[in-house]
Amino acid sequence: MTERIAIVTGSARGIGAATARRLATDGMAVAVLDLDEDACAGTVKEIAGAGGRALAVGADVSDSAQVQAAVERVAGELGEPTVLINNAGVTRDNLLFKMTDDDWDTVLGVHLRGAFLMTRAVQKYMVAQRFGRIVNLSSSSALGHRGQVNYSAAKAGMQGFTKTLALELGPFGITANAVAPGFIATDMTAATAARMGVPFEDFKKAAAERIPVRRTGEPDDVAHTISFLVSEGASFVSGQVIYVAGGPLC
């Protein structure tokens, strides 16, 4: 099988790092892309230590020029990318009447604009090779979540973005799917607990009681699902939103 080149955005830590490691284990060369290139060193070191190929890349995914430069660097140093995981994300939680313009613009910019810019830059390599896999990170918050009108809107938008990509790019052998995690234990959820003044272990325990499988998710749970969606065998799965949430959501 031809070695695939993958780009995973927001992969210095959390779900992104777990996904980068998993794709490397699957035999792909991985561009570990995050806002701070130095922060990617740990993920790259882990991949290299396991015998894989990885490249640390720093870029703001909401900046068109930085995205273009980053993708061209990946193509030149690692190989032409045909797998893209749009995972980069931020939160700026607040109730609607307290939310600032910057809170809204930052979240929509990183999630939606970032996914758009990255996908636009990478798709030409996919079209040329008549093969491509795109996975966009949505969230259970796409169904609505108090205090996250910006994040919920962005994650719901990712689902519509994904379905349209599937329609437009399908004829070129490119699939597009979205993964929507529920409660995943990451630095982001730990920060939410800290903001609420709740110990993280108590926060996770309370969440687990509401989840049918009675545990919270781990980054590897999401990475395993992404691994399937980008595999050679998933060529007939496209335009789908898969909730990795430990049970059905209402």
145 vs 198: CA distance, rounded Å: 18
Q: Token match 């995973």: residue?
A: 8
Length of the chain: 250
Q: What's 3's DSSP letter? A: P
H or E segment to which residue 244 belongs: strand 241-244
210 vs 135: CA distance, rounded Å: 27
Residue 111 and residue 138 in contact, taking contact as beta carbons nearer than 8 Å: no
Q: What is the separation of C-alpha 3 from the centre of its chain, rounded to a whole number of angstroms?
A: 21
Say which of 131, 151, 203, 243 is annotated catalytic: 151
Q: Is 151 a catalytic residue?
A: yes
Residue 4 and residue 83 in contact, taking contact as beta carbons nearer than 8 Å: yes
Q: What's 84's DSSP letter? A: E
| Interior angle at CA 15, CA 234 and CA 44, nearest 5 | 95
Just list the catalytic residues.
Answer: 151
